[in-house]
Structures are given as structure tokens and as C-alpha cells.
Chains A and B, each alone.
Chain A
Amino acid sequence: MKGQRHNRRAAAWAGLGVALGTLITVPAYAEPLTADLSSNLISITSSFTGADLILFGTRSGKGDVVVVIRGPASAQVVRHKTRINGIWVNSAGLTFINVPGFYAVAANRALHFVGAPELRLDTAAPAATEDRRLFREALIRNLRRQRLFQPFLGNITFLGDTLFRTNVEIPVNAPVGGYDVDFFLLRDGKLIAQQSAALFINKAGFERTIFDLANNRPAVYGLIAILLALMGGWIAATVFRRT
């Protein structure tokens, strides 16, 4: 196998790169897959408009690289609008449990990968197969439109033979929490190696204080909001007082 690769490489470099090819050959003891992300923590501050995450790594030997990123799961309701008396009204709804708040897949080429963490979109209650298919498609379509689902394949690029990288766009509406990033190395559709990394998206600073207060101490938060408004109104009236 190794010899075969050398032959191909030699042909590609047309005799020029024989020495070079030998130089960048990965040593036999290397991990089959080593990968990481540019940042394990994304902080949402007041200037946050989304983030660009770089995922990179090396592979030893040939193989396809697949990356799957999954955000914290929650229950989501898909609702179908129908026209009633000329007005569009939410009618039927179907609840999906364990919908990842973010889901992105990247690979170096379009491929069928059986071993990847499956995107299970189970419904809370049993539903007719046809309904389930329609609502499931609608769920994926809506989340794709919001950039929360990016199930695109074929956007990992190789630099040389071993180094790979890809960019993943974390949209501004990405939910906060822990994300799982899984890297896979496949050869002929079979899993050779796997590596996981964690990513946290958290609100930070002022945004964090407000968000935490609003969710953990809603009564205190409500009173502060009222107090701020009372003060704001009073200051405005005093500053712009007419005589």
C-alpha cells in the first residue's frame, strides 16, 4: 500500500518530487487521525454577529474525513399553516424531541457514511408515516434556512496529503450550551479512526449577566427592568423640562 502510494506520487511529481515525497510521508507510528478546532469556547458578547470556526487536523494514510457538529438538543414544534377565512393560521403541529440546536456535517467529498452519529428526529407522539415525513422535511428545511442545520458534504479541503481543514459558520442564532464535534476517518466506507472535541457557546460579560438574571431570577429582573424604565422616563422629563 505504501509502495503504491509512492509510485502514484512519483508519477504526479514527474520525477521531481521523489525526495520531497519521502520527506512528507507520515511516519508509521502516527495516530491515524488528529484533529482540533480553532476555538473551544465561543463567547457571545454584545458585538456578536456569529462566528467562523476552523476545524483542522491530520490523517495518516488515505481516507475520507467527515466532521459532525451537534448543538444542545431540545424539543421543537413544527406547525403547519392552513388558510382559514383568508387568514393563515397554525393548525396541525408535531413535536420532535431531541432536535439538535445546531447540526453541521462536513466531508472532503459527498459520500454515504453509515457510522456517523445519526440525526434522529423522533416525534413526541406517534404520527402517520406520511405526516412524519412532511413535518420532518419541514423541520430540516426551516432549520437550514436559519443556518442552524448545515448538512453539506464536500467542503473539507486537504493541504497536501495529510493536513485537512474546513470552516463552519456558527450563526448568530446558534443556541448556547455544549456542542459535540466528532471527526471520523473512513477508508472504503469503513471507520478507521474517530476523535471528539468539545465546543462551548456561552453568553459572556454583560449579555451573560442579563440572560442569567432573566432566566434564573425573573422576578428580580422584572423589577430591575421597571426601575430602569421609571428612572429613564424621569431623567428624560427632567432634562427636557420646558419652562
Chain B
Amino acid sequence: MQIYLPIAELSINIFVLLGLGTAVGFLSGMFGVGGGFLMTPMLIFLGVTPAVAVASEANQVVAASVSGVMAHWRRSNVDFKMGGILVIGGLAGSTVGAFIFRALREIGQVDLVIFLSFAVFLGVIGSLMVMESVTRIIHSLLAIRPRRKAHVHYWVHGLPFKLRFHKSKLYISAVPPLVIGFFVGLLAAIMGVGGGFIMVPAMIYVLGMPTTVAVGTSLFQIIFITANVTFLHAVTNQTVDVVLALLLMLGAVIGAQFGTNVGVKLRAEHLRALLGLIVLAVCARIVWVLVAVPADRFSVGALIGG
């Protein structure tokens, strides 16, 4: 059954969209990630223009993060103070990102920047995931137990404007979270992702937050960032397709339920290796688009701006 998407202006099989939502939702439930970094490239591969894919996916991530944060909130795993600081940085970053996006559209380079961003981030994150989990699997086979520090203190924590974060058990400068928030907000606006795949490692390894609190807090701040991205893309680019977003949401909600059930049955390092491989596969597909000789070296697009 085909459905015409009013903003994307193309007709796609409704079951393909629901299936994509379910598949990505399954993975996000299984691995505890947002899924935007997989969904946006998949939408582009389906023929949705990158501008519409990014804006509509940001809209869908709002829903995914709300439903995700509820469970963490109930378990009291959200650091609202840290989340608030990240949101301040993130709102600034995503606003700047939305205007950069608009400027890139006008000069016809937005597709390139989106593809390059995905290639770089998926490549780095996927490789790190695979390497780390393979190391752990080898260590567990050889029965090696790496010594771990309870809490690492970097120079960035000593910057001014120190604040106490009770939930995260931290007393650190507000500058690093502001900068991280800004950077992830920038990515959210340009790539249509929540940015959890960068935010969570940054919170754990740079800010030194406990893992349980990091995931919940990341989801909490993503709601505000992706809502801002949705709004700004709607206003500056008119590229948010709510029909597309709602269909993906519906699929993702169902997929996430199954994914979570499967996820708890698998071992963490195996799970991470698997996700790393999926991420690398999507990365490879994107790199192929960038380097393969295009069928037509000329492309046509509507003049944007003046």
C-alpha cells in the first residue's frame, strides 16, 4: 500500500516505512541507542531527500527519547541539573547548526556535508565499538581482568564555573558540558540524530559520569535538542514531514519492545560488537555513495534562497 508523503513529495510503501521503523526501533531497543544515526541514512537510501530525512528524523527522535527517558526517570537515573547545562549548550549548538544547514542548502553542499558527517562519525564509532568489544571478548577468553580507575580527573574539570552535580556525584566546571552540549547540538541539526552515540561516551569518559545516569540524562537532553531542531527545520527549511515521522515512530515503538527483550539475553560485548558491525556496514554504504562514479555527473535542484 503506497502512501504519499506531503512534504517529502514522494510515494512510499507504508509497510516499508513501518518495517524500517520497526527494524531500527528493534536495534535501538536492543542496544539502548536512539537509532537516528541509522534511520537518517536509511531514509536517504529510500529516496527521501537528505534535507527532509534529517528534519523528519529529528522529529521522530523526540518521540523515541521521550519514551526512552520515562523508564530511566522512574528509576531516578536522570541528572536534571547536568541535563539542563547540556540543554543550554545544545540549544545554542542546534540553532547554529540549523542556520549552517540552511546556508549549505543554498550553495548546494548540504548532501555532501551530511554524507561526510555520517561517514566520519559512523566510521569512528563503529570501529571503536568493534575494537573495544573484541578486546574484551579476548580478555574474557584469556581471563585477563584490566584494572579500572573508579574516577578519572582531567584538566577540563578544573576550569572555572564549578558546579556540584549530586546525581552524577561530580563537582566539575560547567564549561565541558556546555561545550559537549553545543557540539552534539550542532551534529543533531546537521545529521538529524539525537547524538546519544557521542553524548553518552563523552559523559562517561570526559565528564566522568556513572553509566546508568549518563544514558538517562542523555535521553533527557536529546528531547529538547531534537525538539529545537524540528522547530528550526520546520521554520527555515519547511522540510519536516510529520506523516513520515509518525509512521517511523509507530514502527520504532513496536520494534523497541522486541529489541529490549532480545537485548537483555545477549552479552554486552557481543551486543556492542554486533552494533559496531551494523554501524560499519551503513558507513561503508555511505562511503560508496561519496566515492562511486555518479550515474550522471550533473544534478538538478530547485533554487533555494535568492
Contact flags B243-278 to A (C-beta < 8 A → 1, else 0): 101100110010011000000000000000000000
With A90-B299, A138-B300, A173-B10 in contact, do A225 and B234 touch (Cβ < 8 Å)? yes
Asked if B303 and A45 sit within 8 Å, CB to CB, the answer is no
Complex partner residue of B59 from A82, A138, A207, A225, CB under 8 angstroms? A225
User: In the bound complex, how far is the Cα of B116 from the Cα of A140, in angstroms?
Assistant: 29
The digit string for A222-237, where 1 denotes a CB below 8 A from any CB of B, is: 1111101110111011
Residues of B near A238 (CB, < 8 A) are 70
Chain A residues, Cβ within 8 Å of B243:
46, 210
Are A78's CB and B62's CB within 8 A?
A: no
B11: A residues at CB distance < 8 A: 48-50, 172
- Decide if B290 is an interface residue (CB 8 Å cutoff): yes
In angstroms, how far is the closest chain B Cβ from the Cβ of A135?
Answer: 7
A146 CB → nearest B CB, Å: 8
Residues of A within 8 A of B250 (CB): 232
A222: chain B residues within 8 A (beta carbon) = 230-235, 240
- Per-residue 0/1 for B66-77: is the Cβ within 8 Å of any A Cβ (1 yes, 0 no)? 111011000000
Instruction: Indicate if the CB atoms of B4 and A172 lie closer than 8 Å.
Output: yes
Give 1 or 0 for each of A150-184: 1 = CB within 8 Å of chain B CB: 00000000000000000000001100000000000
Cβ contact within 8 Å between B234 and A218: yes
Contacts of B62 in A (CB 8 A): 226, 229-230, 233
Q: In whole angstroms, what is the CA distance A236 to B301 when docked? A: 38
* Complex interface bits, A191-227 against B, C-beta within 8 A gives 1, otherwise 0: 0000000000001001110110011001101111110
- B interface residues, Cβ below 8 angstroms from A: 2-4, 6-7, 9-11, 59-60, 62-68, 70-71, 108-109, 111-112, 116, 223, 227, 230-235, 238, 240, 242-243, 245-246, 249-250, 253, 256-257, 290-294, 296-303
Q: Which residues of A contact B233 (CB under 8 A)?
A: 222
B112 touches A89 (CB 8 A): yes
With A88-B294, A90-B112, A210-B7: A226-B227 Cβ-Cβ less than 8 Å: yes
Residue pair A215, B238 in contact (C-beta under 8 Å): yes
Closest 9 CB pairs of A and B: A233-B66, A222-B234, A138-B298, A229-B62, A237-B70, A233-B63, A75-B303, A222-B231, A237-B67
Question: In the docked arrangement, what's the CA distance between A211 and B131, Å?
Answer: 46
CA of A221 to CA of B239, assembled, Å: 11
Q: Is A93 an interface residue (CB 8 A)?
A: yes
How many Å lie between the Cα of A221 and that of B192 in the bound state?
18
Minimal beta-carbon separation of B46 from chain A (angstroms): 14
CB distance from A81 to the nearest CB of B (A): 5
A29 within 8 A of B: no
Cβ of A190 under 8 Å from chain B: no
Q: Is the CB of B245 within 8 A of A74?
A: no
Find chain B residues with CB under 8 A from A232 CB: 63, 66-67, 246, 249-250, 253
B4 touches A45 (CB 8 A): yes
User: How many residues of chain A are within 8 Å of chain B by beta carbon?
Assistant: 61
* A74-112 at interface with B (beta carbon < 8 Å): 74-82, 86-90, 93, 95
Contact status B60-A135, CB under 8 Å: no
Q: A88-B291, A226-B59, A229-B249 are in contact. Are A236 and B67 (CB under 8 A)?
A: yes
CB contacts (< 8 Å) of A142 on chain B: these are 296, 298-300
CA distance A116 to B4 in the complex (A): 34
- B297, A234: Cβ atoms under 8 Å? no
Give chain A nearest CB distance to B85 CB in angstroms: 22
Asked if B257 and A240 make an inter-chain contact with CB atoms under 8 angstroms apart, the answer reads yes
Least CB distance from B142 to A in Å reads 37
Contacts of A89 in B (CB 8 A): 109, 112
Question: Could you tell me the distance in whole angstroms from the C-beta of B302 to the nearest C-beta in chain A?
Answer: 6
Contacts of B291 in A (CB 8 A): 86-88
Contact B108 A46 (CB under 8 A): no
List residues of chain A with CB within 8 A of the CB of B9: 172-173
Query: Would you call B66 and A234 a contact (CB within 8 A)?
Result: yes
Quote the shortest CB–CB distance from A179 to chain B (angstroms).
Answer: 17
- A129 CB within 8 Å of chain B: no
Q: Is the CB of A218 within 8 A of B235?
A: yes
Instruction: Please state if A211 and B299 are interface contacts (CB–CB under 8 Å).
Output: no
B257 cross-chain contacts in A, Cβ below 8 A: 240
- Which of A49, A80, A207, A219 contacts B298 (CB under 8 A)? A80
Contact residues in B for A223 (Cβ distance below 8 Å): 231
Distance A226 CA – B7 CA, assembled complex (angstroms) = 16
Nearest-Cβ distance from residue B141 to partner chain A, whole angstroms: 33
Listed A/B pairs (9) with beta-carbon separation below 8 Å: A48-B4, A50-B11, A79-B108, A79-B301, A89-B109, A210-B242, A232-B249, A233-B68, A237-B71
B62 (CB) vs chain A CBs: closest residue: A229
Q: How far is the CA of A229 from the CA of B3 in the complex (A)?
A: 20
